[in-house]
Amino acid sequence: MDFHQVLNSLVADDRLHARWLNTLSMMENTGARKISAAEDKTRVDLLMLKHAAEEARHAYYLKKQIGKLPDTDCPTYEPAFLLAPTESHAYLNRLDVQVCRYLKQTVGLKGSELKYAAYLLVTYAIEVRADELYPEYQAVLNETGSKVNVRSIIVEEEGHLAEMLRQMETFFGDWKPHAGRAVAIEAALYSAWLSSLSETLRRPVAQDFPK
Ligand SMILES: [Fe+2]
Ligand SMILES: [Fe+2]
């Protein structure tokens, strides 16, 4: 299944759609917590605070959207309320680990520089993905006349991508090879995540998901 087919199947079934929103919310929240964890206690700037706050808002906003789907409820991020819970949890953590390994072994960074550079590359790769994923999702929501909408997230993610580009330029100078590496790492992890989602959709819904 390609991503468009996955989205169509998800949006067509409220119980799956609720879990999709909850899964995205969990991933946004993981992103927000990772940004906060990467902040320098004293030198953190306005842009990084804004970014952490907006990712946390995305987590909250997506969770609120679940209320628009009748007879659904996903109160927590426990596996029963997520889609492909293992892969969805692993996606960001693996991206972080693999980007850090690249920055340590190939670029030779360590300490606070490594932490900040990893924040830049991991976040950049996620923003590239978000700028593709949310508009595709919104298009399916429009086509199906769903009450759910993610337009406000799209606007903020576009802003984040532009901000990450500026920050990478300042930190790395020649940022493109590093960004390309991060995007390649992310693409492999995204493809594994998408396979898990497709696998989930192939199984009978009622069996996996109690109301
Ligand atoms: Fe976000
Ligand atoms: Fe973002």
Spatial distance between the Cα atoms of 94 and 189, rounded to a whole number of angstroms: 8
Centroid of ligand 1 to alpha carbon of 133 (angstroms): 11
Centroid of ligand 2 to alpha carbon of 199 (angstroms): 27
Share of the chain above pLDDT 70, in %: 96
Centroid of ligand 1 to alpha carbon of 204 (angstroms): 30
Spatial distance between the Cα atoms of 48 and 54, rounded to a whole number of angstroms: 10
Asked whether the CA dihedral 53, 30, 16, 124 is positive or negative, the reply is positive
* In the chain, where the domains are located: 3-204
Centroid of ligand 2 to alpha carbon of 160 (angstroms): 5
Of 37, 31, 27, 50, nearest in space to 116 by CA:
37
| pLDDT score at 206 | 46
CA 134 to chain CA centroid, Å, is 10
Centroid of ligand 2 to alpha carbon of 154 (angstroms): 9
Q: In terms of residues, how long is the chain?
A: 211
For residue range 110-151, what is the model confidence (pLDDT) as tens digits? 999 999 999 999 999 999 999 999 999 999 999 999 999 999
| pLDDT score at 1 | 85
Two tokens at 119?
């924040």
Rounded average pLDDT over 26-33: 97
Centroid of ligand 2 to alpha carbon of 122 (angstroms): 11
Question: Terminal CA-to-CA distance of the chain, rounded, Å?
Answer: 25
Closest ligand to C-alpha of residue 160 is 2
Two tokens at 83?
């889609």
Answer whether 0.75 is exceeded by the pTM.
yes
Residue type, 176: K
Closest ligand to C-alpha of residue 153 is 1
Centroid of ligand 1 to alpha carbon of 73 (angstroms): 22
> DSSP character for 42?
T
Centroid of ligand 2 to alpha carbon of 28 (angstroms): 8
Two tokens at 171?
């930190």
Centroid of ligand 1 to alpha carbon of 116 (angstroms): 19
Q: For the chain, where are the alpha helices, taking DSSP H only?
A: 3-12, 14-38, 46-65, 85-102, 111-144, 151-172, 176-202, 205-208
Centroid of ligand 1 to alpha carbon of 152 (angstroms): 10
Rounded average pLDDT over 51-77: 97
Count of Cβ atoms closer than 10 Å to residue 114 Cβ: 16
For residue range 139-148, what is the model confidence (pLDDT) as tens digits? 999 999 999 9
